[in-house]
Amino acid sequence: MFPGGTAARRDPPRAAQVGWGADVVPWPADLVERYERQGYWGRETLGELPRRWAAVHGDRCAIVDHRGPTSYAALDGRVDRMASGLHALGVGPGDRVLVQLPNTATFVVTCFALFRLGAMPILVMPAQRINDLDGLCKLAEPVAFVVQDRFLGFDYRPMAEELAKRHGSLRHVVVDGEAGPHHRLEDLDDPPLRNTGPRPGDIACLLLSGGTTGTPKLIPRTHADYAYNARASAALCGLSAESVYLAALPAAHNFTFACPGILGTLLRGGRVVMARTPGGDETFPLIAREKVTFTALVPALVDLWLRQREWDTTDLSSLQLLQVGGARLMPDMARRIGPALGCRVQQVLGMAEGLLCYTRLDDSEEVVINTQGRPLSPDDEVRIVDAAGRDVPPGEPGELLTRGPYTIRGYYRAERHNRTAFTSDGFYRSGDLVRRRADGNLVVEGRIKEQINRAGEKIAVAEIEEHLRAHPAVDDAVLLGVPDPILGERSRAVLIAGGSRPELADLHAFLRDRGLARHQLPDELGFVSSWPLTAVGKIDKKRLADPSGPRVAGASAFREETIP
Ligand code: OOB
């Protein structure tokens, strides 16, 4: 068991979801009672944590970023003052706030300030652009948007202004850096206020789902479930006050934030080191300087790190554990990690919706290399089912369905979609094709959902196809995932264009103008004059994805081939 369990057991169960309204699907009362009784859900809210940490760890360093160190005491103080500053702007309990910040201590301060107020951060990655954010504003009606002025060559302020123009709900833009006419984040600095704060069963934050449709999906995580997610993950990974976590992936991603990531490290009194970019050029010197003990990557980045390691001699000897998840890690690459980086590997099959499967630190090499581990919680329920929803025989592949103490019961404000994304008895349909080995470990075999997993970044196929069809020269369009040795999958747009055929660069410019992010732009382009069809008359995407398929133009390759 883990800390927090005993407190919950002493107290009578509380009605955890009072006041959620129609926006969120609650867990059934008997399970609320069970999860509290088992001690998964404690009494604390996320916003209270920094206060407790400050009392225990005081001047010890909590976070290091490019601006320098922040102690636990300073973190708590900044959280208090920013919460008051936000409150003074009129941000209150239940309000949604878009947060799009790079990996900085400010990111952590902002999240905890909002947790403390009972407002809900919507955690957006820095790479996302106006098309995604526009959809999120429509859906969640945030009252404020917290951004950095500029990051990696992109100025977030004009985008924020455009969003504020389009959405009446968005009353405040708060900028870390040069704020111009907006609120300076540093000025949100009022004397601490004592508010009653949210309850453990309230929604703490809204995470982004990779999605499969044109409409964005938000994942409501409660204080209690998310704290459990991080606490149990930290225990499983053996974290202690000596742990030093490198946040290399975006902090706003669930993996980085809470699996066990930033939250889990701070819960154990460890230190979080923020990398602005995940490449070896920045991260290797940080590992050496800060004596980083563990970090998390997607397979495409592991590949980059391994290549750099062929010539790089930075001292990485402090590194004990590399977590890899977000996309399938091939056994060959998994095997190379230990020798090249001098650390253990942990595979993580995770999803922002909840369920986390981990290989354990004492698992055999065979398990760590060939499987994506098993569920974190004793109360995680996993079913593997066929197309008709029947459990498959042991060892056979099928779709992974799950429910449990940190897996949502429905997306935020998505009543209609929830009817298909969840079973009637509350299992989340992951869209992942998995099989369970006799030892209980899961292996990801593929995917059922219409999503491309490009280096761990999820692309909703239907959404991008709609944008492609909007191009004046395009009559019809499909987007495919094709295997890629580095990215796992890259995206290929195949178009029917009656008149002039657009070039890839033209298409990119067009899609960028529509507010798409870099990773959403097709990597390559092909044309056909009519769709190949399956026996039942659907577009045969398999045939289009075939290497001997249509003429394809990519950044480097160009082949002249046509579908017969
Ligand atoms: C993580 O979360 P999301 O929400 O960005 O993506 C979830 C999806 C899964 O449904 C699966 O399709 C894929 O990403 N995935 C994997 C995987 N881990 C995630 N596919 C194959 N092998 C793996 N190890 O990606 C995420 C969240 C928390 C921790 C780690 C990853």
Q: Whose CA is nearest to atom 26 of ligand 1?
A: 350
pLDDT for 214 equals 72
From ligand 1's centre to the CA of 464, what distance in Å? 20
Stated length of the chain: 564
3-class SS at 437? coil
From ligand 1's centre to the CA of 293, what distance in Å? 23
Cβ of 261 below 6 Å from ligand 1: no
From ligand 1's centre to the CA of 251, what distance in Å? 15
Cβ of 444 below 6 Å from ligand 1: yes
pLDDT for 547 equals 67
- Measured distance CA(303)–CA(486) in Å, rounded: 7
Q: What is the C-alpha end-to-end distance of the chain, expressed in Å?
A: 61
pLDDT for 246 equals 98
Confirm if 222 and 133 have CB atoms less than 8 A apart: no
From ligand 1's centre to the CA of 326, what distance in Å? 4
Residues of the chain with pLDDT under 50: 1-19, 555-564
From ligand 1's centre to the CA of 413, what distance in Å? 23
Q: Whose CA is nearest to atom 19 of ligand 1?
A: 326
From ligand 1's centre to the CA of 325, what distance in Å? 6
Cβ of 47 below 6 Å from ligand 1: no
Cβ of 455 below 6 Å from ligand 1: no
- Measured distance CA(312)–CA(306) in Å, rounded: 10
User: For a substitution probing ligand 1, which of 349, 430, 443, 447 has the most ligand atoms within 8 Å of its CB?
Assistant: 349
Please tell me the number of Cα atoms within 13 Å of 193 on its side-chain side. Answer: 17
* DSSP summary character for residue 197: -
**Of all atoms in ligand 1, which is nearest to the CA of residue 323?**
30
From ligand 1's centre to the CA of 552, what distance in Å? 29
- Strand pairing report for 203-208 and 218-222: antiparallel
pLDDT for 58 equals 96
From ligand 1's centre to the CA of 349, what distance in Å? 5
Confirm if 61 and 244 have CB atoms less than 8 A apart: no
Is omega for the bond preceding 547 within 30 degrees of 0, making it cis?
A: no
* DSSP summary character for residue 249: S
Nearest CA to 255 out of 243, 246, 268, 242 is that of 246
* Phi, psi angle pair for 145, to nearest 5°: -135, 120
- Measured distance CA(259)–CA(517) in Å, rounded: 25
pLDDT for 193 equals 78
Confirm if 113 and 139 have CB atoms less than 8 A apart: no
Helices (H), 190-309: 223-236, 254-258, 261-267, 280-290, 299-309
* Phi, psi angle pair for 271, to nearest 5°: -125, 140
Classify the complex by whether its ipTM is higher than 0.85, answering yes or no.
Answer: yes
Q: Whose CA is nearest to atom 14 of ligand 1?
A: 326
pTM: 0.91
3-class SS at 290? helix
The 144-148 sheet, strands edge to edge: 183-184, 172-176, 144-148, 96-100, 120-123, 203-208, 218-222
